[in-house]
Amino acid sequence: MQKTRTRAAGQTKFLLDESELPRRWYNIRSDMPTAPQPVLHPGTGQPVGPDDLAPLFPMELIGQEVSEDAEIAIPDEVLEIYSLWRPTPLFRARRLEEAIGTRSRIFYKYEGVSPPGSHKPNTAVAQAFYNKQEGRTRLSTETGAGQWGSALAFACKLIGLECKVYMVKISYEQKPNRRSLIQAWGAEIVASPSEETQSGRAILEEHPDSPGSLGIAISEAVEDAAGREDTAYSLGSVLNHVLMHQTVIGQEALAQMELAGAFPDVVIGCVGGGSNFAGLAFPFLREKIAGREIDVLACEPAACPTLTRGLFAYDFGDTSKLTPLVPMHTLGHDFVPAPIHAGGLRYHGVAPLISQLVRDGLIRAEAYLQNDVFASAVLFAGSEGILPAPEAAHAIHGTLQVAKAADEAGEERTILFNLSGHGHFDMAAYDNYFAGNLQDVALDEAEMSRALGAIEGLPTPA
């Protein structure tokens, strides 16, 4: 025991054997103090049922979306593909701790070791598997930063499905290499808004220079899937089943923190739709709900401050109002966030499970400006070596804020954050940062009230 502890004190990486890969996903719905409110049909105002969703999703995923079971078994075929990169490493960020001179201990779980470079394939593989099992031959989806599009392209390639990706135009232009990666895995890709769907054409008619947004790209991908028998729609975040698939991250991290002989006082992740944050945080929230004290912090951009400034309301998940009404923190479905470089965080809403947990006081949120976030990213790269994705850099920045506050208060924390992806395809963003060209955009009040006007008249959650 003494020997193990001595070794752990100097150890940097905490690794699990392939045989220790979690065999089940954790479903936080079974433990939530307040049940999430139902998703509503916009026409009837009634909760949506399986038949409403069947044109878009396979039955197994519709079942997972509403399941109250605490755990759901991961199919063997999915585990086999997970084993290409899972379990992922957990690091003690000793060099970062030294660089900032903190008394706190900082750990991070690194999801950038997956082939597409982020946490996204944890759900992409599962979704492709269930769709194939139920006879679909093609999937359509949207992508912001390109991480999700490349993850789904990768999963479809390995499972044997066709894939069509609508990529937010600003990212399509900023990240030609993500585009090529998506093509290398055999998917078809188009810039959104595109001329290929009614939703895309309508936006282009009104705003020919639209930089696109996740809300618009979702409209296009949903329209594509709804119009074809062979095609299902696949979403990379927000939905309950997507967040659940990501919980392999936190389950592994729990075991790895035990190897390190530590337990986090603070768990941190960046939030776009909420999937990587949930993946790390939900297994720890299970402990918090059971009585353990943990501060759980969600980090978002000031340009798209969904959790810190949005309303908890029923809203559409997409811009063209094709999806059901979702109870979530939202900035309004027609809000187009400024074209900041963390493309994966440019979404007007957030997962209903996270929204409810924020309302219940189990999660808190902060918003940051992008130049501060990039400064933290560069500090991290200079000490730990890994160049983070701009999205993940929000979690790094949050971690540095928490460590600083603890030091100022003369306290010591054990902090765990999710490094959701690497930034090797985000070099244009780093180029802009180094050239001093990044704009700091905080959403202004006038635009926020305008955008929130779009949800007036929609049902109000209890």
Ligand X SMILES: Cc1ncc(COP(=O)(O)O)c(C=O)c1O
- Site residues for ligand X per CB under 6 A: 118, 144-145, 147-148, 237, 270-277, 344-345, 389, 391-392, 420-421
Q: Which residues contact 298 (CB under 8 A, 6 or more apart)?
A: 268, 269, 270, 271, 274, 277, 307, 354, 358, 363, 364, 365, 366
Return the number of the residue (148 or 374) whose C-beta is nearest ligand X. Answer: 148
Give the nearest distance from C-beta 389 to ligand X in angstroms: 4
**Considering the complex, what minimum distance in angstroms separates the CB of residue 460 from ligand X?**
25
The residue among 104 and 234 lying less far from ligand X, judged by its C-beta, is 234
Given the complex with ligand X, which of 194 and 420 has the nearer CB atom?
420
* Residue 274 Cβ vs ligand X, minimum distance, rounded to whole Å: 5
For the bound state, the minimum distance from the C-beta of residue 421 to ligand X, rounded and expressed in Å, comes to 3
CB of 386 to ligand X, least distance (A): 12
């049909």: which residue's tokens? Answer: 41
Nearest distance from C-beta of residue 394 to ligand X, angstroms: 8
Tell me whether residue 48 or residue 124 sits nearer to ligand X (CB atom).
124
Rounded-to-integer distance, Cα 286 and Cα 31, Å: 7
**Of residues 105 and 250, the one with the C-beta less far from ligand X:** 250
Compare residues 104 and 185 and give the one whose CB is closer to ligand X.
185
Q: Which residues contact 266 (CB under 8 A, 6 or more apart)?
A: 294, 295, 296, 297, 402, 413, 414, 415, 416
> Which one, 58 or 273, has the nearer CB to ligand X?
273
CB of 225 to ligand X, least distance (A): 19
Q: Which of 174, 179, 166, 181 is nearest to 215 (CA)?
A: 166
Residue nearest to ligand X (CB): 344
Strand partners, 189: 165
Closest approach, Cβ 135 to ligand X, in A, equals: 27
Which CB, 118 or 197, lies closer to ligand X? 118
Q: Measured on CA atoms in the order 246, 251, 252, 257, is the torsion positive or negative?
A: positive
427-430 LR contacts (CB < 8 Å, sep 24+): 428/174, 428/175, 428/341, 429/174, 429/341, 429/374, 429/390, 430/374, 430/377, 430/378, 430/387
